[in-house]
Amino acid sequence: MSLTRWAFASTLVTLFSASAFVPQHSRSKSHHGSAATTHLYMSAALIVQNKGGGHGELGFQLAKVLSDNDKITSVTILQDDACKDSAEPFQSYATDLPDVKVVKASLGDESMTATALQDILGKDAAFDYVWDNASKSPKGAGQAICDLAKAWNVKLFTYVSSAGMYQPTADAPFPMPETTPIKESAGQNQFDQYAIQQGLPLVTFRPQYIYGPKANKHDYIDWYFDRLVRELPLPIPGDGTQKLSLTNAEDVASLLAAPLNDEAAAIAQRVFNCGTDQLVSYDEVAYLCAEAAGIDKDKVMIEHYDADMFGKATFPFRMTDFYVAPDTAKEKLGWSGPLHSLKDDLQSFYYESYVARGGPTKKMSLIKDWEITVGSKTSLPEYGSSIYDKFDPIILEVPAAPAE
């Protein structure tokens, strides 16, 4: 055998021998049927997922995104065991995430230590990338995750915080930039500070109102449908032109994975707002929901009211403008923007889901609505009954008519 052929054969032996020792979970996979590629390295990702609520769907959607990312070779979800297994998205883990490992732990336990959590994950378990979508403060499991991430020497530590801690001033610009003042005492900010103190390569995202096909919190949009399908007024504070961003969980997940596009830029920037740039007003949400439910626009009864007099009442959003935009993520991380629109999603899945969940027939308390709308254009007829009586009967003491 010539020297050249010997060197070539030796190289082949080295390559195939190395691949034989790559753990099975470190080999990339595709959920779309494309050929798998073998990597000679492991990039394990850990998603720490809460028990549900506004962020409840994010771990599921993020796992799907990471499973298709060439940089990630294995995905594990550390799931809070307080979740309801029969609810979405948790009931879809086994069917929709077949290659994702799910480990359960009591993430709400403030006595949880790094040692205990390492034992739950496996004594030899270690991860290169961590996404924390559960911790609300640097206590218990929150501190333990940070401490483990430091011990693992992670490449990125991505934290799902909240834009709810922004405290914009009266003359603040909108959309709110990442430099907007925050509530310093907020648990999420305390968590950020602890992660920084530990020297973690922290990247923090601050999302706002989230909805999705497998969400387990529906309060925001359901508020509109609850009144529209019952032909009731929608009490909206102010003039209804206040803007907000309602973002599909799939778009949020793609944003959370965007630091993989440029890890150094993500770490240098550290804080990113997280939301769609397709803004809608409070009144526009009402008309979009009506369209999805097949309700004529002229049948939508919007009742603008004085927020200073009645306060927030049951309205699901802030009484003023309160929205962010993903401009920084687009510029620094090359995020391409949202793939979903509220209008399309309301028509393609949300309204159908609302009906399937029993929205049109569920019992509701409408006393606050009644308090706001009484005396205005939906005022009580002279006999004392109310348009709300059918759904939430209100007992009124009506003076007896004087004797003739």
Q: Report the 10 Å Cβ neighbour count for 360.
A: 13
For the chain, what are the domain ranges? 44-376
Task: State how far the Cα of 52 lies from the Cα of 97, in Å rounded to an integer.
Answer: 18
Task: State how far the Cα of 189 lies from the Cα of 382, in Å rounded to an integer.
Answer: 54
| Rg value, the chain, Cα | 26
Does a cis peptide bond (omega within 30 degrees of 0) precede residue 259?
A: no
Which pair of structure tokens corresponds to residue 277? 């740039």
pLDDT (tens, 9 = 90+) of the chain, 404 residues, equals: 444 434 434 443 333 333 333 333 333 343 333 333 333 356 999 999 999 999 999 999 999 999 999 999 999 999 999 999 999 999 999 999 999 999 999 999 999 999 999 999 999 999 999 999 999 999 999 999 999 999 999 999 999 999 999 999 989 999 999 999 999 999 999 999 999 999 999 999 999 999 999 999 999 999 999 999 999 999 999 999 999 999 999 999 999 999 999 999 999 999 999 999 999 999 999 999 999 999 999 999 999 998 888 889 999 999 999 999 999 999 999 999 999 999 999 999 999 999 999 999 999 989 899 888 874 444 444 434 566 666 665 544 545 555 55
Which pair of structure tokens corresponds to residue 338? 């949202």
What is the model's pTM? 0.85
List Cβ neighbours of 361 (8 Å cut-off, separation of 6 or more): none
Domain made up of 44-376: CATH architecture: 3-Layer(aba) Sandwich (3.40)
